[in-house]
Amino acid sequence: MGYSWRVPCGGNVTTQNGTVYSPGFPNQYPNSQDCTWLLTVPVGYGIHLNFTLLQTEPYNDFITI
C-alpha cells in the first residue's frame, strides 16, 4: 500500500512507502519556494529514492540528500 503527499511545501513523512510531490504538481510551483521534506524510518531500515520526473531550473532549483 502506498501513500501520496500533496502538501503546500515540505513536511515530515513517516510511512513505509509513498510519493512526495512538489507544490501544485504537475503545474509549475510559485517562485522563491523553499520546500523541505523530512523522511524518517525506523532503526535498521533504509530509504530508497526514485525520481521519475525531475525538472529543475539552472542556478535556482536543487535537491540536497
Number of structural domains in the chain? 1
pLDDT tens-digit series, residues 19-62: 887 777 778 777 888 888 888 999 999 999 888 888 888 888 88
Grid cell locating 5: 503527499
Full domain range(s) for residue 59: 1-65
pLDDT band at 63 (very low <50, low <70, confident <90, very high): confident
What pTM does this model have?
0.66
